Amino acid sequence: MEKVCLVTGATGRNGAGSATIKFFARQGWRVVVNYSRDTAAAEEVAEECRALGAADVLVAQADVTSDEACRAMAADIEQRWGRLDVLVNNAAVTTFNDHKNLDGLSFDDFQRVFAVNVSGVYVATRAMAGLLRRTGNASVINISSVGGLRGTGSSMAYAASKSALNAMTFSFARVLAPEVRVNALLPGFIEGDWLINGMGRERYETVRAGLIAKNPLKTVQTPEEVAEAIWWLAHGPAALTGELVQLDAGGRLAV
């Protein structure tokens, strides 16, 4: 029976979410393209997945901050296929703001970022937990960030949310074992529109060049490399759970 993968926030153009769902589709999996607002973008990704060889494609609208929507999505997956093998918690938001600008983030900014990046992962994973357990030998991969370890990234709110996500990864790994493994992937700088739009082209290129010069592997990450790492975590060692796997071209080793 074909396995099933759900990626939340799978519609960003040139993003890690869409690259991941297409990676699984290319392997002949059944895939769930989750989105919150942009139906046209979701349908576009779904068509690409079909063309790449997905066994079946479900387009699922669900805001991860809505418990009702996430439970409805789980019910749709169960009714259609009766299993879920991999959940990739990718949906995330940020407010781009220099960490030194303490007045640049409002209370509402923090609330919004934590609602999606932390509470949303909790709600989505809880909704899928029963299905994952019944499937057995399932895997959850939370997309975190090296910023959650270093207090860096697009904003202080984003870094704090990813640090919270790291802690929640440990908790879920304990709670969902032994039927489900739970790990987090912590990318560094990921090339693509998300950072370009948030940082502006000039700053994006400056930061990218600086990281390439500094990182031991002399590169930064592409969405496709993130997808490959997610695939590995989903199929990785059977004893691997509760781990924070950094994918940063060795940036943590730079001096």
- Residue 231: the pLDDT is 98
Q: With 80 as the cut, is the pLDDT of residue 255 above it?
A: no
Averaged over 133-138, what is the pLDDT? 96
83 CB-near residues (< 8 Å, 6+ apart): 1, 3, 4, 131, 134, 135
Q: How many helices (H) and strands (E) are present in the chain, helices listed first?
A: 10, 7
In the predicted structure, residue 229 carries a pLDDT above the cut 90:
yes
Q: Is the pLDDT of residue 152 over 80?
A: yes
- The encoded tokens of residue 241 equal 């759970």
Q: Is the pLDDT of residue 125 over 90?
A: yes
Q: What is the pLDDT of residue 130?
A: 98
Average pLDDT over residues 91-120: 97
- Copy the structure tokens of residue 245: 């796997």
pLDDT digits (tens, 9 = 90+) for 26-49: 999 999 999 999 999 999 999 999
The percentage of residues in the chain with a pLDDT greater than 70, rounded to a whole number, is 100
- Reply yes or no on whether 158 is catalytic: yes
Mean pLDDT of the chain: 96
Confidence of residue 95 (pLDDT cuts 50, 70, 90): very high
Task: List domains and CATH numbers for the chain.
Answer: 4-190+222-249 (3.40.50.720)
* pLDDT at position 254 over 90: no
Q: Across the strands, what pairs with 89?
A: 142
Asked whether the predicted pLDDT for residue 150 surpasses 70, the reply is: yes
pLDDT of residue 91: 97
Confidence of residue 185 (pLDDT cuts 50, 70, 90): very high
Q: What's the pTM?
A: 0.96
The per-residue pLDDT for 147 is 95
pLDDT band of residue 51 (cuts 50, 70, 90) is: very high
- In this predicted structure, what is the pLDDT of residue 236? 85
When pLDDT is averaged across residues 99-118 and rounded to a whole number, the result is 97
- Angle, helices 107-114 vs 156-176, to 10°: value is 30
Active-site hit among 35, 122, 158, 204: 158
Confidence band for 13, pLDDT divided at 50, 70 and 90: confident
Sheet order of strands, 4-7 included = 56-61, 30-35, 4-7, 86-89, 138-143, 180-187, 244-247
Give the pLDDT score at 1.
62
- Average pLDDT of the segment spanning 50-74: 98
